[in-house]
Chain A
């Protein structure tokens, strides 16, 4: 028998089978209950086993046979677990390496470690009992997982991982590793190293320190199986997965910044101002790019949220017996993960409200997200009965939230905002009548916490629409800088409706309260100086006013001067300054000036 000729044939065919397996596995990842896919996988593994056994490639046959057995467990259940898919993908990788060995006429590598390393839990089952068995409960509580993968070009994976294991031990205590040090010393060459590390060092720091190992292709911090279950309920954890591509971008940018620094240094030395000017231009471009890339690290799409909302609608529809269809648009929109986290519960709340109170028997709840410059708008709409402004007017008056005169003069838009008032929404009776109100104060608070705005509009009989307007990112935001009592301060642009300048003659008074005309309404005029307990300022003409919205009502905030808008990097204030009410952070301007960020919400609460 011409062994060489058959070997070629075997290799080509087996490689094809493996390719098919990998494809099916990726499909199963999104649809784990695909019975046909599982059957196909089984057949592929079976084919490889048969061929390898004929060619007397014992280890390849052994692994393929093992795969076949495990897949056979899945077939009657008709589903495969996420852990199982990962394991099978690893097995496919190992089979590929075995084919490589055969191609290069090397001895086939060891497969027993891989086969025995995995507990014999059926990959078909993902029940909590088996999932928790995988990780020693004592260890599962401590530390976190670090997973390292090497570049394909690294030929001595085992030895490299040994070195990396030693390096990781410098960062803290290694609680366990797969493979273990012993297995690595015995010559195992795994595709990845999984380490449970107990360390005070942040994950970012670890990534940074491991950066000097160009052999590493990917560093991830997987969530343990037991933790993964809870993560599924909470789609956005504190973990950040960063693609190496993005990291490379960041590294390149940093490199360019260093070059830029040297260029500018020498330009300054030579008094070559044209070159300095060019350098500054380049710096601006680099920083903008860097800003963009760094933000990208924290961005997540609304996709995960859409799944949960769709589930909520599905459940509500079942429990209420109403026929609800659910529409989602714009889930590809990306937001800072902290904002997505903060919005998750409010959105569920709003969807529930729409189903419970907005829709009678059948209707549609739709969620739409879109971007407007550096803001993201998320809208929850229904085509139900809508909010009746008259009933709100009546209720608000009865609750003493507004005076009869105020109630009469209030526009529908402002009335709707009243349902977000804590005093308004707690009454079950009101909810019944208005069809809204359950926890809307909670929703509004959450939105405002991330520097956003909540807008409600509704047409009786046609439905209600609630729009959340939030910034793209929490760290870098656009602010309006104002001056008041000799100090500059900033407020998030998302909180600003408009800035206007009013002639003193246009100011009216209603009792003690000064009012200004804004569009066709009268808004109360409040002085920022007064709120900040600063001495009275000199007479201004025209008066700079920031129209903003506080607790559902528009007001005009008088400042000394409107300075301008800019993007700033907001930092938390260190203790004890974080205790200062009405101030949510600070930022340093180019000239070294520190500017505090006003938190209008709490500023007015104090009053």
Chain B
């Protein structure tokens, strides 16, 4: 616990994050390469959807990430409101654009999958609509923070929005059970023949891990920049090797 609190100060977190960023970029590249290989060369052709089903290997991981990232933002927000730490708000802000990107990719790949399989780019179905709301929540969070000049107040307002909005995540997840939707249920892809199910599942899991590594890398990178932007007037920032190099 003492260690965790030590790293909750931007001055100690900044160099730690700087060491982690290249590690997670490397992981993302390796896992991404393996994931793409499985997606296109290991996973067999689907009996019903032919090659079109391969969109699953980015659609599902992107959708998972869009929900995970929102939950992590809500977690940091709760921490920030409870302990009033600067790092929490910085992490929440650093995650939001990546969450918005994955929500967008989920909708985009979903539209490109829906058109050939359902005959429609978009339907006002419970799963699709709740995911669209998630995308708007991310955009709303970013816009709200941008509209408030004082970063600490922007953090508190953003924290409230992300905590209220997190109720949407279980709605997305269970939407296919609670309502009659056109979107397939969560288990459909796993009930096909076992060999098929395992390569598909592995492809999705490896791609999801690649997206995780990507998210950690880009969010830590952005968190470091936010620290520079907000604490540019402090001594510890002026003594950073990065700042001295730039000067």
Q: Do A and B bind each other?
A: no
